[in-house]
Structures are given as structure tokens and as C-alpha cells.
């Protein structure tokens, strides 16, 4: 993709999937750190669950889009 070219739907979705992977990894590290500190993890785990649900939707959408191309 050229820097000045608009992002295609496939490129945008791939970017979202990669971003989601980073968010999940970061949130897992936060949960681990809170656990090590003996701090409450309920909200951090709920957020991790939400990130994972969203990621599942993004990955499924990416698969559908690839099949359609």
C-alpha cells in the first residue's frame, strides 16, 4: 500500500487483528503483575475477556472477508 493510498477494508481488518493481539498481550501482562502484587484482578480479567471476545469477532470477520475475495 502506498503511504498516500486509502486503507482497504482488508488492510484495516488486518491492522485491527494485530492491534487486538497487542492489547491482549498487554492486558495479560497487567493481570499477571496484579496477581504477583496480590492486588484485585477482577476488572482486569473482565477487560481481558472483552478484548478476547472482540478479537474473536475480528478474526472471524477477517476469515469471511478473505473467503469473499
**Domain range summary for the chain, segments of one domain joined by +:** 9-68
pLDDT for 36-57, tens place per residue?
Answer: 999 999 999 999 999 999 999 9
Give pTM, 2 decimals.
0.85
Q: What is the dihedral of CA 31, 34, 38, 39, to 10 degrees?
A: -110
Binning pLDDT at 50, 70 and 90, where does residue 1 land?
low
Contact call for residues 47 and 2 (beta carbons, < 8 A): no
Q: Which helix (H) or strand (E) holds 7?
A: none
Q: Which helix (H) or strand (E) holds 66?
A: helix 42-68
Q: What is the pLDDT of residue 67?
A: 93
CA gap 3, 10 in Å, rounded: 16
The answer on pLDDT for 29 being more than 90 is yes
Amino acid at each position: 500500500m502506498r503511504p498516500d493510498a486509502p486503507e482497504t477494508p482488508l488492510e484495516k481488518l488486518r491492522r485491527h487483528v494485530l492491534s487486538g493481539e497487542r492489547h491482549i498481550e498487554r492486558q495479560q501482562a497487567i493481570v499477571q503483575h496484579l496477581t504477583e502484587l496480590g492486588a484485585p484482578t477482577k476488572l482486569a480479567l473482565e477487560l481481558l475477556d472483552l478484548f478476547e471476545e472482540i478479537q474473536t469477532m475480528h478474526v472471524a470477520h477477517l476469515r469471511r472477508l478473505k473467503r469473499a475475495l
